[in-house]
Amino acid sequence: MSANENRKVQQRRYNLERDQNFQKEMYDCINILQKMPGYKNRVWEKISNMHNQYEEEKGLQGLKAGEIARKRLIEKTKRTENDEQTGLDELIDKTAKTSALQAINLSKLLTKKWSEEKNAYFIMSNIKTEK
């Protein structure tokens, strides 16, 4: 719930607590419900169903918000990786304008080696060198 919605709910609650007509209607309603247990049970069931529905809707909203946040993080990670790669390419290009040898050495240093990959140890341990 946003701060504005929360403020509105608090203001409405404050107004209802001070409204004499509302207080009287609530008191009358409670008296009627005490006299009619079957009606009280139906009202309670409807209120419980409304509460459960509200909680379910809030849960779905939370799931949607989580999914949106996850997608946003994935996009941010991809954008960061792309920016890093673009920055390295530009650095190599600028270096190439001054010295081709320095650009080649820089490119070799910045390029990932296959042994730096995630599963390199597993791949390396399965390579058979004997014939």
Alpha helices (H) along the chain? 3-18, 20-35, 37-98, 100-110, 120-126
How far apart are alpha carbons 102 and 109 in whole angstroms?
A: 10
Express each pLDDT in 46-99 by its tens digit. 989 999 999 999 999 999 999 999 999 999 999 988 887 787 777 777 777 777
CB proximity list for 91: less than 8 A, separation 6 or greater: 106, 110
How far apart are alpha carbons 36 and 42 in whole angstroms?
A: 10
Question: Using an 8 Å Cβ cutoff, are 95 and 103 in contact?
Answer: yes
Express each pLDDT in 25-46 by its tens digit. 888 888 888 888 888 788 889 9
How far apart are alpha carbons 55 and 53 in whole angstroms?
A: 5
Question: Using an 8 Å Cβ cutoff, are 95 and 102 in contact?
Answer: yes
